[in-house]
Amino acid sequence: MLTPIAYGLAIVLDVFILFIGARFLLAPHAAAAGYGVPARKDGDPAYLSIKGLRDLTYGVLGLALLAFAGARAEAWFMLVVALAPLGDTLIVLRNGGTRAVAFGIHFATAVIVLISAALLFAV
């Protein structure tokens, strides 16, 4: 029973980060607003594209690890990649974003990613 839950949560998280990456590439200003720190209209759009590419890459890598290397490799990946939403929490707080977004989105995501890692280590 634990295996389908562990794999299912990992797949959902990997696909979700793929979606976020694609959104930053296709609708960068809307994605930045959803991130919690709106981008300036006259700002450098390259940085929004960098975030999109980073997130897209994380999603593809997570799915590849799960498919080709197994649960243990994916667990280590999830453990390490939890640093990104933890860092995002601090970035939002330091750049004028709300505490609700910082903790309700980014910190909560880090906790879910860590739960996913724990489940994958358990299978």
Split into its structural domains, the chain has a count of: 1
- Long-range Cβ contacts of 72-78 (<8 Å, 24+ apart): 72/120, 72/121, 74/10, 74/120, 75/116, 75/117, 75/118, 75/120, 75/121, 76/117, 78/10, 78/13, 78/113, 78/114, 78/116, 78/117, 78/120
pLDDT in tens, the chain (123 residues): 999 999 999 999 999 999 999 999 999 999 999 999 999 888 878 999 999 999 999 999 999 999 999 999 999 999 999 999 999 999 999 999 999 999 999 999 999 999 999 999 999
Q: What is the pLDDT of residue 44?
A: 79
Q: For residue 20, give the nearest of 56, 50, 60 by alpha carbon.
A: 56
Single-letter amino acid code for the residue at 65: L
18: containing domain: 2-122
Q: What is the pLDDT of residue 43?
A: 81
Q: How far apart are CA 78 and CA 71, in angstroms?
A: 10
Q: How far apart are CA 40 and CA 63, in angstroms?
A: 33
Q: What is the pLDDT of residue 56?
A: 97
DSSP string over 43-83: S-HHHHHHHHHHHHHHHHHHHHHHHHT-HHHHHHHHHHHTH
